[in-house]
Amino acid sequence: MGLVEDLMSNRYLITPAAYYLLEGHYRKDFTLAELVKFAKTRGKFVVDAVVAREFLEEKGVLPRGTPLEKFVSSIPGGADENRSLSSDSEESTVEQPLSAVTPEGSSEQDDTGNLVAAPSEGSGTYISTGIPLKSGEEPPHTDQSEAESGGFTGGKSYVSTGTPEAESVEDAPEPIHEPLQSPPAPETTPPLPVEEGLSENGYSNGAPNGNGGVNGYESGDDEEFKPKVIYGDYGVPIAYEEEVPGSEKKAYTVYEGFSLSPKEGFHYRAPEIPDDWQVVFDVKNFKLSPPKAKNANGKDGEIIVKAYSNLFKSRLKKMKRILRENPEVGGVIDIGKLSYLRTDEDVTIIGLVNSKRETPKGYMFEVEDSTGIIKVFINRRNEDAKKFFQIMPDAVVAFRGRPSGRNIFFANRMYIPDVPKFRKSKPPLEEKVYAVLLSDLHVGSNKFCETAFMRFLEWLNGEVNNRAEEELVSRIKYLVLAGDVVDGVGIYPGQYDELAIPDIFDQYEALANLLKNVPEHIHTFIGPGNHDAARTALPQPGFYEEYARPIFKLKNTTIISNPAVLRLHGRDFLIYHGRGIEDVVNMIPNRSHHRPAEATVDLLKLRHLAPTFGEKVPIAPDPEDLLVIENVPDLFQTGHVHVMEYQTYNGVFVINAGTWQAQTEFQKMVNIIPTPARVPIIDVETAKLRAVVHFDQFCEGV
Range 62-68 average pLDDT: 63
The least confident of 45-59, 376-390, 546-560 is 45-59
Beta strands in 564-687 (DSSP E): 564-568, 571-575, 635-638, 644-649, 652-657, 678-683
List, in order, residues 6 or more apart from 461 with CB less than 8 Å away.
Answer: 182, 260, 261, 262, 263, 266, 517, 519
pLDDT above 90 (res 267): yes
* DSSP β-bridge partners for residue 645: 203, 656
End-to-end CA distance of the chain: 41
Q: Is the pLDDT of residue 210 over 80?
A: no
Average pLDDT, the chain: 79
Residue 226 has pLDDT above 60, yes or no: no
Residue 16 burial (CB count, 10 A): 10
Whether pLDDT at 367 is above 70: yes
Long-range contact list for 40-48, CB < 8 A, 24+ apart? 40/497, 45/11, 45/12, 45/13, 46/12, 46/13, 46/14, 46/15, 47/7, 47/12, 47/13, 47/14, 47/15, 47/18, 47/22, 48/14, 48/15, 48/17, 48/18
Stretch 287-300: mean pLDDT: 67
Can you tell me the distance from the alpha carbon of 295 to that of 190, in angstroms, rounded to the nearest whole number?
72
pLDDT band at residue 584 using 50, 70 and 90 as cut-offs:
very high
Q: How confident is the model at residue 342 (pLDDT cuts 50, 70, 90)?
A: confident
- Distance between CA 578 and CA 482 in Å, rounded? 9
**What number is the average pLDDT over the span 639-657?**
97
Domains of the chain from N-terminus onward = 3-83 (1.10.8.800), 270-283+433-698 (3.60.21.50), 324-415 (2.40.50.140)
The arithmetic mean of pLDDT across residues 598-622, rounded, is: 95
Q: Each residue of 473-532: pLDDT tens digit?
A: 999 999 999 999 999 999 888 888 899 999 999 999 999 999 999 999 999 999 999 999
Express each pLDDT in 406-464 by its tens digit.
Answer: 789 999 999 999 999 988 889 999 999 999 999 999 999 999 999 999 999 999 999 99
Tell me which H or E stretch contains 159: helix 158-161
**Statement: the pTM of the whole predicted model exceeds 0.85:** no
pLDDT for the residue 165: 40
Beta-carbon contacts of residue 227 (< 8 Å; ≥ 6 apart): 81, 82, 85, 240, 241, 242, 243
Three-state DSSP state, 552:
helix
DSSP 58-122: HHTSS-TT--HHHHHHT-GGG--TT---HHHHS---PPPPTTSSS-TTSEEE-TTS-EEE-PPTT
Which range (139-148, 230-239, 281-290) has the least confidence?
139-148
Answer whether residue 339 shows pLDDT above 90: no
d(CA 179, CA 259): 6
Query: Of all helices (H) and strands (E), which one includes residue 401?
Result: strand 396-403
Say which residue, 278 or 144, is predicted with more confidence. 278
The whole-number pLDDT of residue 701 equals 56
What pLDDT, on a 0 to 100 scale, did the predictor assign at position 669? 84
pLDDT-derived band at 141 (thresholds 50, 70, 90) equals very low
Strand 434-438 versus strand 476-482 pairing type: parallel
CB-count burial class (<10 Å; 0-12, 13-18, 19+) for 291: middle
User: Using CA atoms, how far apart are residues 178 and 104, in angstroms rounded to an integer?
Assistant: 12
Cα dist from 235 to 22, 230, 232, 512, 678, whole Å: 34, 9, 5, 51, 69
Task: Return the pLDDT at 190.
Answer: 62
Say what percent of the chain tops pLDDT 70. 72
Q: What is the pLDDT of residue 233?
A: 46
Taking 90 as the threshold, does the pLDDT of residue 116 lie above it?
no
